[in-house]
Amino acid sequence: MTASGTFGYGPEFSDFIDVARLGAVIVKGTTLHHREGNPYPRMAETPSGMLNAVGLQNKGVDYFAEQIYPSIKGLNDNIIVNVSGSQIEDYVATAEKVAHLDGVTAIELNISCPNVKQGGMAFGVTACGAAEVTKAVRKVYPKTLIVKLSPNVTSISDIAKAVEAEGADSVSLINTLLGMAIDAERRKPVLSTVTGGLSGPAVKPVALRMVWQVAQAVRIPVIGLGGIMDWKDAVEFLLAGATAVQIGTANFVDPAVTIKIIDGINEYLDRNNFSSVQEIIGALEV
């Protein structure tokens, strides 16, 4: 799968890869109303990664449903909409609208965006808040409900258990880690928002650890992401217990990376005489 916010809506990459071959395309974070996002600058390159503070720039769910969705329907069998908001009513209203789109097979509930002032991550940092928003959306959304978890918490397993209890079908983790970059010469923060979300290979060990912990704690499938750059990283997440993986920041470095990872996983399975990827999910020998 492609991680939300790193793959646009899909067509941006169709010159480079056959988008239909991907397990799913998770489109850009979508909110009830149009959002302009945060002011520039929104990005800082960091050692083995980057910070972003985009702030959920998108044209709102109605524009998505009417203008974007018709043009991407059929691009991939699994189009998943990442739904975000700043209050529970917004999440619910957005999920209801997305539920009407036949070609969208799931939503990923973003309760972990660190770049919006209200809501977003606020729901994702307490088990109570995460449960509350999951429960409300579960009532109106009958299809697959994935909840994307924030790593900026003390115990991510507790959050995962809380959303599982409220009917989430799956959890995806991790969203970005809250970070910061400073320009020493100018004595100013690099990002307009001062802090932003760290992604890329720098976060991979943290993501792996959290996927491992959550996979032990819940029965629902875990989708792993965080700094996956190649097939080997992806296999590590599967071994740690992820049923599927998302590729995010790596798309910026190599727009054809997703297909290379799919092929690489298949070659790994063949080389090690596994007949199915199922055999390596959670197969870590501790």
Kindly state whether residue 185 participates in binding another protein, applying the rule CB under 8 A. no
How many amino acids of this chain bind another protein (CB under 8 A)? Answer: 34
Kindly state whether residue 182 participates in binding another protein, applying the rule CB under 8 A. no
Kindly state whether residue 176 participates in binding another protein, applying the rule CB under 8 A. no
Single residue of 1, 19, 26, 50 touching another protein by CB under 8 A: 50
Single residue of 1, 26, 32, 54 touching another protein by CB under 8 A: 54
Single residue of 256, 263, 267, 278 touching another protein by CB under 8 A: 256
Single residue of 12, 66, 183, 267 touching another protein by CB under 8 A: 12
* Catalytically active residues, by annotation: 113
Kindly state whether residue 142 participates in binding another protein, applying the rule CB under 8 A. no
- List of residues 6+ apart from 52 with CB closer than 8 A: 5, 42, 43, 115, 176, 196, 197, 199
Kindly state whether residue 268 participates in binding another protein, applying the rule CB under 8 A. no
- For the CA atoms of 244, 250, 252, 253, the dihedral, rounded to the nearest 10 degrees, stands at -150
Asked if residues 125 and 150 have their Cβ atoms less than 8 Å apart, the reply is: yes
Quickly count: other Cβ atoms within 10 Å of residue 186's Cβ.
8
50 vs 95 by CB, closer to another protein: 50
What b/e sequence results for 252-282 when a residue is b if at least 16 CB atoms lie within 10 Å of its CB, and e otherwise?
A: eeebebbbebbebbeebbeeeeeeeeeebbb
Single residue of 23, 37, 60, 167 touching another protein by CB under 8 A: 37
Quickly count: other Cβ atoms within 10 Å of residue 249's Cβ.
25
139 vs 205 by CB, closer to another protein: 205
8 vs 282 by CB, closer to another protein: 8
By DSSP bridging, strand 49-52 and strand 104-110 are: unpaired
Binding site for another protein (CB under 8 A): 5-8, 12-13, 15-16, 28, 36-37, 39-50, 52, 54, 57, 200-201, 251-256
